[in-house]
């Protein structure tokens, strides 16, 4: 006998609804501090003279810098399960981020589905965070999967 779905109408209605945007101004110092904090010594992130001689023409942010740009949460829903796991993240990068860029960040619940697992039914939520520069170019997309279950 198949288990009845735990996905409610409220949960279905939350799929595809984007959060309110937040815009961040990217500062050169923030890029340098971020690179130092993660131990990345690539001169593209902290040496203007060297970075100007590259195809980028100047300092750019490390790809993981986007993690420091917060977003508002998309519409919330109550999970029927008490335990949560991080199912991982996938990133796509399209354009470099430079000092002075204004990056607007939004997040949406892109997908919600169920699968049976060893511990019983599991609820998967996929959130998509989009990073867009001042020219309307998507510079990066992050897809994060969350897994909820009842232990």
Q: Looking at residue 4, what is its pLDDT? A: 86
Domain of residue 100, residue span: 9-26+69-149
Q: Is residue 38 part of a domain?
A: no
Task: Report if residue 40 sits inside a domain.
Answer: no
Question: Among candidates 98, 109, 24, which has minimal Cα distance to 68?
Answer: 24
pLDDT score, position 117: 87
How many domains, the chain?
1
The pLDDT averaged over each successive group of 10 residues in the chain (151 residues) is: 82 95 97 96 95 96 95 88 95 97 98 91 96 98 95 86
**Would residue 116 count as lying in a domain?**
yes
Tokens of 142: 């992050």
- Look up the CATH number of the domain holding residue 16: 3.10.129.10
**What whole-number distance in Å separates Cα of residue 98 and Cα of residue 34?**
13
For position 2, what pLDDT does the model report?
A: 59
- pTM assigned to the model: 0.91
Residue 42 lies in a domain: no
Please measure the distance between the N-terminal and C-terminal CA atoms of the chain and give it in whole angstroms. 21
Residue 109 lies in a domain: yes
Instruction: Report the 10 Å Cβ neighbour count for 78.
Output: 8
Which residues are 4's β-sheet partners?
A: none
90 belongs to a structural domain: yes
User: 74 lies in a domain?
Assistant: yes
Q: What whole-number distance in Å separates Cα of residue 84 and Cα of residue 52?
A: 45
Three-state DSSP string of 66-119: HHHCCCCCCCCCCCCCCEEEEEEEEEEECCCCCCCCEEEEEEEEEEEEEEEECC
Look at residue 15 and tell me if it is in a domain.
Answer: yes
Check residue 90 and give its pLDDT.
Answer: 97
**How many Cα atoms occupy the beta-carbon half-sphere of 66 within 13 Å?**
27
């Amino acid at each position: 006998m198949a288990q009845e779905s735990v996905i409610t109408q409220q949960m279905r209605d939350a799929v595809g609804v984007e959060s309110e945007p937040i815009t961040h101004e990217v500062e050169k110092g923030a890029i340098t501090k971020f690179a130092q904090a993660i131990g990345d010594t690539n001169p593209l992130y902290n040496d203007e003279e060297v970075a100007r001689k590259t195809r980028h023409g100047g300092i750019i942010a490390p790809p993981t810098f986007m993690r420091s740009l917060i977003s508002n949460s998309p519409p919330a829903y109550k999970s029927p399960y008490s335990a949560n796991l991080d199912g991982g993240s996938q990133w796509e990068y399209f354009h470099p981020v430079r000092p002075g860029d204004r990056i607007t960040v939004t997040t949406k619940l892109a997908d919600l589905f169920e699968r049976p697992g060893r511990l019983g039914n599991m609820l998967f939520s996929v959130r998509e965070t989009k990073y867009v520069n001042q020219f309307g170019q998507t510079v990066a997309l992050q897809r994060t999967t969350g897994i909820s279950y009842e232990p």
